[in-house]
Amino acid sequence: MTRAMANPQTIAAEAAPARWQDYVVLLKPRVMSLVVFTAVTGLVCAGAPISPVLGAVAILCIAVGAGAAGALNMWFDADIDRLMRRTAQRPVPAGRVQGADALALGVTLTLCSVMLMGLALNLLAAALLAFTIFFYAVVYTMWLKRATAQNIVIGGLAGALPPAVGWAAASGTAPLNAWLLVALIFFWTPPHFWALSLTAQEDYRRAGVPMLPVTRGEAETRRQILIYSLIFVPLALAPAFTGLGGWIYLAVAAAGGAAFIALAVRLLVRKARADARRLFGFSILYLFLLFAALLGEHLASVQPLALRL
Amino acid sequence: MSDPKAESEPARRARNGRNLAIALGLIAFVIIVFVVTIIRLHGNVAAPHRF
């Protein structure tokens, strides 16, 4: 593995001084917002009585843990981030923050978030949170990302785990319904990321990251997007039949799922980049709506469909 | 003659901002640990563990 790191001291001397906002950017706040949202859904769906303050602390721990994983990712990936348009302005490749500082921030926040989760909530939630950070920072970032085109398929587990962490924080257990939410995000990730990678494959090629469009070509990527979409959409319907989702959830999952598959088919047939961008955008909206429907139903105490049948 | 090691104004402002952010983060952490301790103590007093 070649890591073409420029001398960090030279860069730091040339770059603007690090502001506190640069350290916030290291925590990937946009990714964090989706993590928080899915974790809150898991926490609420668990249906366990929990002090609102402890619930908020659990979500804070998950958010900070996700941020720590982001900082570790930006530390390790600075050399390839520098080569890609989308990531070149991140604080470490741009020279505003030294790599060692990003590493220190990531390690410190990991320790704080996992320890606080263990003290305030329970050991299962703390262990799941620690595993999530390890999986993203080490398994995905250090082992898979530069080694295989399946990087985001396997690595997607890290992004998928927050609902299970939230569920475990509230109830001390992680039953099948919690893992169903994990599976849902796990199978959502490949179509989502491959749609993005179709629009940014020159960047990945330049940085030597073996994303699917780079290693297997655009046609194979579009085919795989459709295959994963056909697995993902039935999974998205499943919570309506396992005592988790109600009729609102089923309606959202069915209508959005039909649109999701239609967009994946259109991408396969028309081969246009605009269709890849459209699928990427819609995938975010669809996942948001699925979890919003579950969250709304549980907050409004809508009876799950499976209990009515 | 100006000191070549003197900190520029933007660098000083950035450093102050970083220091303030760390201070606020640490204070928030202390408050959270304190509040969590009180809540957990309260819960354990209300429903003691049976050994």
CA angle A203, A208, A210 (to 5 degrees): 95
Positive/negative CA dihedral, A93, A188, A133, A119: positive
Question: How many residues are there in chain B?
Answer: 51
Q: Which of residues 40 through 59 in chain A touch B, CB cutoff 8 A?
A: 51, 53-54, 57
Least confident of A101-105, A214-218, B7-11, B37-41: B7-11
A116, B33: Cβ pair inside 8 Å? yes
Global ipTM? 0.85
What pLDDT is stored for residue A9 in this prediction? 45
- Which two tokens mark B40? 């957990």
- Give the closest residue to A181 by CA, choosing from A309, A267, A291: A291
CA separation, residue A2 to residues A91, A147, A283 (Å): 21, 12, 34
What pLDDT is stored for residue B1 in this prediction? 54
What pLDDT is stored for residue A17 in this prediction? 85
Q: Which of residues 1 through 51 in chain B touch A, CB cutoff 8 A?
A: 8, 10-11, 14-15, 17-18, 20-21, 29, 32-33, 35-36, 39-40, 43
Burial class (CB in 10 A: 0-12, 13-18, 19+), A286: buried
Evaluate whether A204 touches A292 at the Cβ level (below 8 Å).
no
What pLDDT is stored for residue B6 in this prediction? 76
Mean pLDDT value across chain B: 87
Q: Over range B12-28, report the average pLDDT.
A: 95
pLDDT tens for chain A, residues 1 to 309 = 344 444 444 444 456 789 999 999 999 999 999 999 999 999 999 999 999 999 999 999 999 999 999 999 999 999 999 999 989 999 999 999 999 999 999 999 999 999 999 999 999 999 999 999 999 999 999 999 999 999 999 999 999 999 999 999 999 999 999 999 999 999 999 999 999 999 988 999 999 999 999 999 999 999 999 999 999 999 999 999 999 999 999 999 999 999 999 999 999 999 899 999 999 999 999 999 999 999 999 999 887 876 655
- Separation of alpha carbons A65 and A44, rounded Å: 19
- Separation of alpha carbons A47 and B26, rounded Å: 32
Burial class (CB in 10 A: 0-12, 13-18, 19+), A31: middle
- Give the three-state DSSP class for A180: helix
DSSP string, A78-104: HHHHTT-TTTTTSTTTTTSS-HHHHHH
Contact of A18 with chain B, judged by CB distance below 8 Å, is answered with yes
Contact of A120 with chain B, judged by CB distance below 8 Å, is answered with yes
Contacts of A120 in chain B (CB under 8 A): 32, 36, 40
- Which two tokens mark A278? 């459209």
More confident residue, B1 or A152: A152
Contacts of B15 in chain A (CB under 8 A): 17
- Number of cross-chain residue pairs from A and B with Cβ atoms under 8 Å apart: 40
Band (pLDDT 50/70/90 cuts) for residue B2 is low
What pLDDT is stored for residue A3 in this prediction? 46
Tracing tokens 């890290």 back to the chain, one arrives at A158
Tell me which residue in B8, B18, B36 faces A20 most closely, judged by beta carbons. Answer: B18
Crossing angle of the two packed helices A151-160 and A162-171, in degrees rounded to 10: 30
User: What single-letter amino acid sits at A294?
Assistant: L
